[in-house]
Structure 1
Amino acid sequence: MSEAPVRNLNMLLVEEQTLLRKTVSLTARSLGLGTVHEAASMQAAERMLRERAFHGAVISIDCGADENCHYNLALLDKVRNGLSASAASIPIAVMVDQATADLMRELRERHVNRVILKPFRAKILLEAFESFGTVAAQR
């Protein structure tokens, strides 16, 4: 199988911050990485996942300053349980503000390919999307 990345990928970015979404989306397109579909909320992401198949997703799951926060992993569960138009095995990267041992265990159980700690540079997201093309080429 080819190790060369697949181009023309459909990828999903779930992130509240408009500027970050736009920057990553436009840069990915200009670099020929594919199309990054933007979702500002989990509800919008759920709708998009029902309607279209993606080659990979980067999903922000924030807790902020709330010490008693429980990360919402429902979107990950829906994809991994085959409740979306995408393959249940698509690569998923998760953006988090802190990585506790419990969260890392839960993400491993959900076969998350990459954890991105905030704050980060947009280049990190682009690298994650680029890796999705390599995974798609191996299938």
Structure 2
Amino acid sequence: MAEATARNLNMLLVEEQNLLRKTVSLTARSLGMGTVHEAATVQAAERMLRERAYQGAVISIDCGADGDGHYNLALLDKVRNGLSASPATIPIAVMVDQATADLMRELRERQVNRVILKPFRAKILLEAFEAFGK
């Protein structure tokens, strides 16, 4: 990945945990990977997706999930249906507590590029963002 290109990457991280968001954002910037824009809620992420184009996103589908164990796939649907400033084909990784066969089928249908199982190290998210620039 060319260094000039990496610095220009705008990536979105949707995650409720502040420490994880900050760690990934600061580390990505210090490594010259680009800018990781942080959203703590689905509502904030929706606003950010309308206002700016991103070259990739890592989305915790636990954010805004209901108490019945159903994951929130609304952000994925909005991006894939062209309802954001980003191309509908941007690479997307999701973070999830557990991956059932039904969930994996739904993610495949939405062309999710990577599934990251919790718990994980921040390095895993950085690797996902790095892959967006390739």
TM tier, smaller: over 0.9
Please name the residue that 1:62 is paired with.
62
Q: Specify the code of the residue in structure 2 equivalent to 1:92.
A: I
TM (normalized to structure 1)?
0.89
Asked if 1:110 corresponds to 2:83, the answer is no
Matches within 5 A, 1:1-139: 4-5=1-2, 6-7=5-6, 8-62=8-62, 68-134=68-134
Q: 2:100 corresponds to which letter in structure 1?
A: T
SS at match of 2:133: helix
Partner amino acid for 1:108? R
Distance 1:40 1:55 in 2: 19
For 1:71 and 1:102, how far apart are their aligned partners in 2?
A: 11
Deviation at 1:69, TM superposition (A): 1.6
| Alignment TM-score, normalising by the size of structure 2 | 0.93
Structure 1 stretches of 4+ with a deviation exceeding 3 A read: none
CA–CA separation in structure 2 for the residues paired with 1:38 and 1:30: 16
Between the aligned partners of 2:61 and 2:88, the Cα distance in structure 1 is 19
Q: In 1, Cα distance between the equivalents of 2:43 and 2:82?
A: 17
CA distance in 2, matches of 1:116, 1:49: 21
Give the secondary structure class of the aligned counterpart of 1:86. coil
% identical equivalent positions:
85
Report the CA distance between 1:72 and its aligned residue: 1.1
Following TM superposition, by how much is the alpha carbon of 1:70 offset from its aligned partner in structure 2, in angstroms? 1.3
Matches of 1:72 and 1:121, distance apart in 2? 22
Whose RCO is larger (CA < 8 A, sep 6+)? Answer: 1
- 1:69 & 1:98 partners in 2: Cα distance? 10
Q: Per-residue deviation at 1:62?
A: 1.8
Alignment gaps of 5+ in structure 1:
135-139
How many residue pairs were aligned?
129
1:61 shift after superposition = 1.2
Over the aligned positions, Cα root-mean-square deviation in angstroms equals 1.3
Q: Secondary structure at the match of 1:108?
A: helix
